Amino acid sequence: MMSKLLQSVALAASMVVAVSAVQAQELKIGYVNSERVLREANLAKTAQAKLEAEFGKREKDLRDLETKLRGAAEKLEKDAPTLSENERNRRQRDVVEQERDLQRKRREWQEDLTQRKQEELSAVVEKANRVIKQIFDAEKYDLILQDAIHFSARVDITKKVIDALNAQK
């Protein structure tokens, strides 16, 4: 009976030690808000400015073409009652052709812009992921999540990631 009691006490003591060891090894979890990184990091802001510089002139040209087309359409509407049928038809064809040209140019601009945005975004995401991996290794995280539905400010390392990205050259 005494040996069974000693065995029970020893088993209980070993369980307490095991539970204490598990509690001592708490998980270290981090959270990164990707949207915020892409909005606030200098690298992302630089990429946005680069895109605006690259595509701004084309956008302005498209707006100018649209204004010119609107003016031609208004002039046609105003002059239509006094124009011959042939002249009115010719001008209508011109306006329709200009509209098609504008739509084509706008579509091409949008496709080019979308492709370049994707390229720039991919470069920023790649660098951010490298920084997150460095933080993961250096600070011995067990898990880093991106874009969680709910998270505590205690595990939010977004600012740390943004600061590390901004420190890079």
Residue 8: pLDDT above 80?
no
The two tokens of residue 152 are 């505590």
What's the confidence (pLDDT) of residue 26? 82
What's the confidence (pLDDT) of residue 25? 66
What's the confidence (pLDDT) of residue 103? 96
Higher pLDDT, 24 or 65: 65
Contact 24, 107 (CB under 8 A): no
Q: Domains in the chain, start-ordered, CATH in brackets?
A: 24-167 (3.30.910.20)
Round the average pLDDT of the chain to a whole number and report it. Answer: 86
Q: Could you tell me the CA-to-CA distances from 128 to 33, 88, 106, 108 in Å, in that order? A: 11, 59, 32, 30
- Crossing angle of helices 42-79 and 158-167, rounded to 10°: 90
What's the confidence (pLDDT) of residue 9? 45
pLDDT tens by residue, 18-40: 444 445 568 899 999 999 999 99
Q: What is the C-alpha separation between 34 and 7, in angstroms, rounded? A: 54
pLDDT tens by residue, 104-145: 999 999 999 999 999 999 999 999 999 999 999 999 999 999
- Where residue 4 falls among pLDDT bands split at 50, 70, 90? low
Higher pLDDT, 99 or 18: 99
